């Protein structure tokens, strides 16, 4: 086929684009997942691919293996098909259906289909399949990785309540035993319980640390969150721990205040700060709150306590090391984790404290998800 005929074939594909799409859709609708899709969703970026094929034919050069790099249509198509539930075999079947209807068009309108035309058609289709499948597979792998990280985090979160209850029961049991009935055996068992609670706490720290490491590699799941019910739910869950030390928990979050955040990470941030505050406060008050700082376009969240406070020598290092910061073997997950979670949202953390006067930990969240640099 001459260059002139190649141009004619290019014009034919461009002119018959709608007919090609109709034939292609009829074939693809035979796939179980595609039969109920509306026409715009089914069509997706295939018209762009047909246009690319037409362009490739119009500039075909036998001396080059690839004249024109494909545009983003296969990449976007792969992502869209993953989103609506196509499997990879169905994705490839779509492109092979397009290959079939284009070659069928050529055979019906051209006396003889030479090598250059079929080579170009197959090259563009195969390249599209490769790009779409690679994008599909990469995102699928990332989604699985993210789901695993989220699952680990949820498991860690769920473990906190029973583990905290065990710790509380152990402390209450020890206090309830009068000295005249305590024995070396009972004390040894209570000490064993305490050590194993600490060991389990360490395992939870490792799980959450893995979630922190994943945060830098994945997109946060951002949503507008009402802060009051989130904080109140946490206070209800942690209340038994506070009762052991006669600590009062107070929610000072305005009922209508919202912020954009990853709900899972925000929960862990508040939970960590509240747990740490309880561990350092006996017969006092722990308050969780938030303020609307419109002039800075942020929401400032905070947790304060009336506990022992932090010395001036330590206050500059409290966020530096990934370790539990509690003194009772409680459920703290490390203030360095708090810092990483907050910074993942584009926020900042700070602390104000004085020995004997308690501490206040603050962190900021954005109003607008566009402020978050991921």
Q: What is the DSSP string of 20-47?
A: HHHHHHHHHTTSTTTTT--HHHHHTTHH
Give the residue among 306, 301, 340 at the shortest CA–CA distance from 321.
340
With beta carbons less than 8 A apart as the criterion, state whether 343 and 318 touch: no
What is the phi/psi pair of residue 111, to 5°? -60, -45
pLDDT value of position 74: 82
pLDDT value of position 353: 93
- 182/177 Cα distance (integer angstroms): 6
pLDDT value of position 142: 74
pLDDT value of position 318: 85
What are residue 286's DSSP bridge partners? Answer: 249, 305
pLDDT value of position 32: 87
User: What is this structure's pTM?
Assistant: 0.47
Strand positions, DSSP E, the chain: 222-226, 248-252, 258-262, 285-293, 298-305, 349-354, 358-366
pLDDT value of position 85: 83
- 169/126 Cα distance (integer angstroms): 64
Residue 139: how many CA atoms within 13 Å on its side-chain side? Answer: 19
Three-class secondary structure of residue 180 per DSSP:
coil
Neighbours of 107 (CB within 10 A): 11
Total number of residues shown for the chain: 374
pLDDT value of position 330: 37
pLDDT value of position 326: 42
Residue 64: how many CA atoms within 13 Å on its side-chain side? Answer: 9
- 9/248 Cα distance (integer angstroms): 80
- Burial call 296-307: b when 16+ CB within 10 Å, e when fewer: eebbbbbbbbbb
pLDDT value of position 285: 96
With beta carbons less than 8 A apart as the criterion, state whether 337 and 212 touch: yes
What the block records as the tokens of 177 is 């035993």
**Helices vs strands, H then E, count in the chain:** 11, 7
**Block mean pLDDT (10 aa), the chain, length 374:** 68 88 92 85 84 78 49 76 86 90 83 68 82 85 70 62 73 74 79 82 68 57 85 86 88 90 85 89 94 88 94 83 44 68 88 92 80 50
What is the phi/psi pair of residue 261, to 5°? -165, 165
* Angle in degrees, 0-180, between the axes of helices 263-279 and 184-215, rounded to the nearest 10: 150
């Amino acid at each position: 086929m001459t260059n002139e005929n190649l141009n004619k074939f290019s014009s034919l594909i461009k002119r018959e684009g709608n007919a090609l799409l109709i034939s292609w859709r009829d074939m693809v609708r035979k796939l179980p997942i595609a039969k109920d899709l509306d026409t715009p969703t089914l069509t997706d970026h295939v018209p762009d691919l047909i246009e690319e094929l037409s362009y490739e034919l119009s500039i075909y050069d036998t001396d080059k293996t690839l004249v024109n790099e494909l545009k983003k249509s296969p990449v976007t198509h792969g992502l869209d098909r993953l989103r609506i539930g196509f499997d990879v075999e169905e994705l490839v079947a779509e492109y092979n259906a397009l290959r079939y209807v284009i070659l069928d068009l050529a055979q019906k309108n051209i006396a003889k289909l030479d090598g250059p035309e079929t080579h170009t058609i197959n090259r563009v289709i195969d390249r599209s399949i490769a790009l779409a499948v690679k994008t599909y597979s990469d995102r699928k792998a990332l989604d699985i990785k993210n789901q695993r990280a989220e699952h680990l985090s949820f498991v860690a979160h769920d473990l906190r309540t029973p583990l905290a209850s065990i710790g509380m029961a152990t402390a209450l049991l020890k206090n309830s035993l009068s000295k005249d009935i305590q024995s070396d055996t009972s004390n040894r068992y209570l000490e064993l319980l305490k050590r194993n609670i600490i060991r389990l706490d360490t395992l939870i720290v490792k799980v959450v640390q893995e979630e922190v490491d994943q945060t830098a590699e994945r997109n946060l799941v951002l949503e507008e969150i009402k802060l009051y019910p989130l904080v109140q739910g946490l206070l209800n869950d942690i209340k038994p721990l506070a009762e052991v030390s006669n600590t009062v928990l107070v929610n000072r979050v305005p009922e209508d205040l919202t912020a954009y955040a990853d709900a899972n990470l925000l929960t862990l941030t508040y939970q960590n700060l509240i747990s740490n505050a309880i561990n350092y406060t006996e017969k006092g008050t722990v308050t969780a709150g938030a303020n609307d700082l419109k002039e800075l376009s942020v929401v400032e969240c905070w947790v304060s306590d009336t506990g022992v406070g932090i010395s001036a020598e330590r206050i500059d290092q409290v966020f530096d090391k990934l370790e539990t910061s509690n003194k009772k073997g409680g459920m703290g997950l490390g203030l360095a984790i708090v810092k990483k979670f907050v910074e993942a949202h584009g926020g900042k953390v700070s602390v104000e404290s004085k020995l004997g006067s308690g501490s206040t930990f603050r962190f900021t969240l954005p109003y607008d998800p566009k402020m978050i640099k991921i």
